[in-house]
Amino acid sequence: MYFHKEGRKLIFITLTLVLVIYAAMVFFVREWTFFHGLFMCILLLFWMAITLFFRIPRRIFTEDSQQLIAPADGTIVTIEEVMEKEYIKEECVMISIFMSGTDVHVNRYPCDGVVEYAKYHRGNYFIA
């Protein structure tokens, strides 16, 4: 497993911050209480959550041109036929995948191909 390059800096900064806070508590706190330990556990869990968010596990994919892989980890919430009005202009099958906070947030391409059309829709915020 490795980590996405955009997250490495944040993981390092967060770990450094947790270690600095721990060192300060060791140096300044004379008697540790339950709350000091709880605070450190919460900080450690926060760092672990950030680390897990940016993880990229190694995956093995088959070279079968007849199969598609899922473009994202998560749960399929919708499979329905919709009318695509912008480019294809015909009925298509739409598959919606919901990624929770514990899923790997890396998108893959499901098959070989060429991008023929791309358009940025400014200001449109779609439902997760």
More reliable by pLDDT, 11 or 112: 11
- pLDDT of 60 reads 81
What tens digit of pLDDT does each residue of 19-77 get?
999 899 888 888 888 998 899 999 999 999 989 888 888 888 777 778 888 888 899 99
Give me the mean pLDDT over the 7-11 stretch: 92
CA dihedral 104, 105, 107, 110 (to 10 degrees): 30
Cα–Cα distances in Å, from 122 out to 119, 125, 126? 9, 9, 11
How many whole angstroms from its chain centre is CA 81? Answer: 27
Over 80: is that where the pLDDT of 4 sits?
yes
What tens digit of pLDDT does each residue of 72-121 get?
889 999 999 999 999 999 999 999 999 888 888 788 888 888 989 998 87
Q: Provide the pLDDT confidence category of residue 128 given band limits of 50, 70 and 90.
A: low
- pLDDT of 91 reads 96
- pLDDT of 43 reads 93
Q: Is the pTM of this model over 0.85?
A: no
